[in-house]
Chains A and B, each alone.
Chain A
Amino acid sequence: MEQDKYKIIGKPEKRVDVLGKVTGKAKFADDYNVKHQLYGKVLRAKYPHARILKIDTSKAKNLPGVEAVLTADDIPGSKVFGIVVQNQSILAFDKVRYLGDGLAIVAAKTKEIAEEALELIEVEYEVLPVVTDPEEAIMPDAPKIHGDNNIFVHHKVRKGDIEKGFQEADYIIERKFKTQFIEHSYLEPEAILAEPAEHGGVRIIGSVQNLFSSRRSVAAALNLPLNKVQIIQSTLGGSFGGKDEVMTAMCCRAALLAIKTGKPVKMVNTREESMLESYKRHPYTMYYKWGIKSDGSITAMEIKIYADGGAYASMSPYVTWRSVVQATGPYYCENVKTDVITVYTNNNYTGAMRGFGSPQVNFAIESMIDIIAEKVGKDPLEIRLQNGFEKGAITATGQKLEHNVSLKEVLLKAAKEIDFQNKWREYKSQSDAPIKRGIGIACSYRGVSLGAEGTDAAGTIVSVQTDGSVIVSSGITDMGQGAQTQMCQIAAEVLGITMDRIVFLNTNTSRVPDSGPTVASRGTIMGGYAAKRAAETVRSTLMSVASEMTGYDVEVLDLKDNYLIDKDSGERLASFSELAAQCFKKGRPMFGFGWYKSPPTSWHEENGYGNAYFTFVYGTNIAEVEVDTETGKVNVINFVSAHDLGRAINKQTVLGQFYGGVAMGLGYGLLEEFEIEDGIPKQLNFDEYLLPTAKDIPNIKAIIVENEDAAGPFGAKSIGEPTNEIAAPAIINAIYNATGKRIYELPANLERVLLGHKLTRKGERGSVQKEKEELIIESCKIK
């Protein structure tokens, strides 16, 4: 079998971090404590939008046990940070822009004293009008959050001639879709320990996802060079894209307190503080207008999206760029006009979250494609096979897909697994009963890694020790997704050793190269490729020493199962440990550094086209549901998830991504909603913010499709986000199949499924506020 090409790759190797995690020895951020540490706490805003007139900290400073009370005035360097737009305040100084903004920080001997001190800080505000709806925020007279324009990003895609496209159409279909704020819900809330370092700098350990961007901001805030700010990642209890800016703010604040007091400072958010302050997934309002022929082909797509960026820019420019690139889905269309407009509001700011701008648009696209299927009398699979990309297709951004485009393969494999078409037909005409069944499908294509968003390169170090044990470290970080294991497996494969020889070092900004953020499902492809190169460097040194040692040509030697072998006879010539010792003795380096820079991409922002990503992945989800038509309760009873990920480096880890991705997508589709009313969040803990439980998750059939891609190590591409981005639309389409009623706004909770809209308690008790009318326009040009 082809699988046997590799010893370690593709095998369900134990995770390198498993022992610590199952024995409770793994150290998460809150487990780090040192003597004499102080506890830091943050005073947060009282209003979602207000000018700060005065902050009086004198009473708080006088409280016994308090060692420092600081405001933005105490920041020696840059008071703001931001990856794209530098406007997020470490501590608010001019205005507060959402309820999670911090105004002052306290360090005290105990948490309780710190909390008490917060209550003694007096702030005078001038309350400002609040704007929380993106479409209201773009009005000329709307309150402004930063500067004089709330629009801060406008991405476009332009292809062909949209007018001509609509003229050619037999039908024009218009719909409006809306998505909600959702919380990352990492199990471990934000936590760090910051210590002043000997050289006048600072050393931070904690639950940070993107260490290098956080480090840049700490250095800028403290006027320190980067080499004096060291950030070490503790074992992370989840992130899902969520431990970036919110951790940067925490790092800056704790570092500031540590430097001012000369003592270590511990900062830990409660769940409520975490939910109040942390950023969320962007809510989108999406207007989709498609022109179609009566055979189901698509002649035009006009798409306008308003994204709620909340109070700060954060990753919005990148998130919404992925949306603009992928907004048409994997479907042929000659004429495309897409606009994604991102605006500031007084809501929680929105940023990176697993999916990164795709779950929203996929909900709209995959609903639309089902709508047009019905219009032309086709079934959901047929319409996707008819319009779906194949190799050589030109995308909406004008990119020609040169890799193996496996969209139809994943569609067909998933459909076959669950007998999709027959079930769909049967459920469509089921007889009237309170509980109805439905089945729905959704597919996607997704650009791998960062694409033209930014520089895309990463480094990994493979260091063989004199006894033949190995240490791997990388600028790519592990949040629990298994990146370390993937990189170690790659190194083990190249070096011909077993996994028990390898230890992975948690990422430390002072010891590994800046490899960009671990986002965009780029861990395996970027960090893994770098690991491969690093291991190859060491291997070539080892092999030349082996050749000197044995007198054999390098060509006839190989490394296998911890031994140096004769390739032809399989005879073991020396152990890997002996070889390593020899190498050391001869003074040859056993330290390998690998760097991988992605293949080129391009983007023309003005004209909206380009080769957005160097390669893509393809996936299909199918959900089978039971809908209680008298209560609106939806149970997902079966699920198929099929993804082409290039190659599974570790099947077990990959399956974890499949299952977790579906579970998270199910929450997005049916349950989760972080509601913010007039700038005030309504759910701050998991009693009210409802995540799916194990009992809500169906049986999930995972189909791993492997079409190796030249761009990735051993052909591997991405899997983390693809698994999360199409579960919700599959479920929504299944609900439609069951009930004949389409859900246009997520989540499909009890009220929406039963009544078609959500209920909100607003204003007067007893008054009922309905959501704005749905937009459903259809015109037919056929006589």
Chain B
Amino acid sequence: MKPFEYKFSDKLDEILHILSQSGTDAKILAGGTDLLIELRRKPKVYPGVIVDISFVNELKGIFEDNNHITIKPLSTHTKIFKSDIIRKKAYLLSEATSQIGSLQIRNRGTVGGNIMNAAACADTVPPLIALNAEITLRSQNSVRSFKLNDFFIKPYKTKANPDEVLTEIKINCLPKDAKSTFIKLGRRNALSISRLSVAAVLQQDEDGKIIDARIVPGAAFPTWQRVVEAEQMLIGEKPGIELFRAAGAKVSEVMISYTGRRWSTEYKEPVIAALVRRALERCSI
């Protein structure tokens, strides 16, 4: 690691001020589980100032109001996974955070860092997009909001400016009768990055007909998005293995339409289809 200046404050205003002064030379530190690894690799653009936001209490906590949940960016994966609100009203995010890295990583890593780092395998992003998440970014002079699915440009690149802090993540509570799941496929059973993942939500009416369907694959598309083509196949239908299989196949097809056939397609094509089918099956039991 190279030398850098370390600044911190427990007040968001001061953080924003520091960032406005340092310009592109600054880097925000939350849990550090991505940033420290990055610094050790000695990237070409090496930050001169590290701004530690981890003491800012106003960036911590999970709150519910009306039909919304506000997740503050410094919430660790452990905090999210253990939150009753999340478990009851955004179950798939609870499932996703419980599978991240290892206990140590879950205790340190934050949802804000996960989003802002924007790795293709970030495990909180597919569930958050399935929950129609909106985020708020603040700088000294501006407040901006994004729908999370509009926020990413490509892996490791977002629309945020270097002086902006992610201050809030807002999601819709899932309806009581909706079921959700997150399936992660890794090469091993812990400390494993997602080879592929799927976030899914299904809601059925009293007759059993599907009235809401959301499917967001992870590590499959250039950026995350709901696969509307597959979701629409489900609306108005009753759950069934053939239907889910077809939806899975649709997701593969859409994936290939974005990525083209690449070296890994031979594997991803059948597997993403199977994972989608499984996720939908889980949401309909």
Contact = CB atoms under 8 A, between A and B. Distances in A.
Interface of A: 434, 630-633, 635, 671, 687, 690, 692-696, 749-751, 754-755, 759-762, 765-769
Interface in B232-285: 260-267, 270-271, 274-275, 278
A693 B190 contact: yes
B262 A690 contact: no
B263 A766 contact: yes
Contacts of B278: 434, 630
A695 to B, nearest CB: 4
A512 to B, nearest CB: 40
Given A755-B266, A768-B263, A693 B271 contact: no
Contact of B187 (A750, A754, A759, A762): A750
Contact of B274 (A631, A751, A766, A769): A631
Nearest to A770: B266
A767 B263 contact: yes
Contact of B189 (A693, A749, A751, A767): A693
B60 interface: no
Contacts of B190: 693-696
Interface residues of B, number: 23
Contacts, number: 68
Contacts of A687: 37
A434 B278 CA distance: 10
Given A755-B267, A766-B263, A768-B263, A434 B274 contact: yes
Identify the interface centre among A635, A692, A695: most chain B CB within 10 Å of its CB. Answer: A695
B191 interface: yes
Given A630-B270, A754-B271, A749 B187 contact: yes
A761 B266 CA distance: 12
19 contacts: A630-B271, A630-B274, A630-B278, A632-B271, A633-B185, A635-B189, A671-B187, A693-B189, A693-B190, A693-B191, A695-B189, A696-B188, A696-B190, A749-B187, A750-B195, A754-B271, A755-B267, A759-B266, A762-B263
A631 B185 contact: yes
Contacts of A694: 190
Nearest to A694: B190
B115 to A, nearest CB: 20
A632 to B, nearest CB: 8
Given A631-B271, A766-B261, A693 B188 contact: yes
Nearest to B37: A687
Nearest to B265: A768
Contacts of B264: 759, 761
B116 to A, nearest CB: 19
Interface string B167-203: 0000000000000000001011111100100000000
B263 A754 contact: no
Identify the interface centre among B102, B191, B275: most chain A CB within 10 Å of its CB. Answer: B191
Contacts of B274: 434, 630-631
Top 3 nearest A-B pairs (CB, nearest first) are A630-B274, A695-B189, A695-B190
Contacts of A769: 263
A690 B186 CA distance: 11
Nearest to B277: A630
Given A631-B275, A693-B188, A693-B189, A750 B263 contact: no
A672 to B, nearest CB: 10
A690 B187 contact: yes
Contact of A754 (B191, B261, B267): B267
A690 B266 CA distance: 22
Interface string B139-173: 00000000000000000000000000000000000
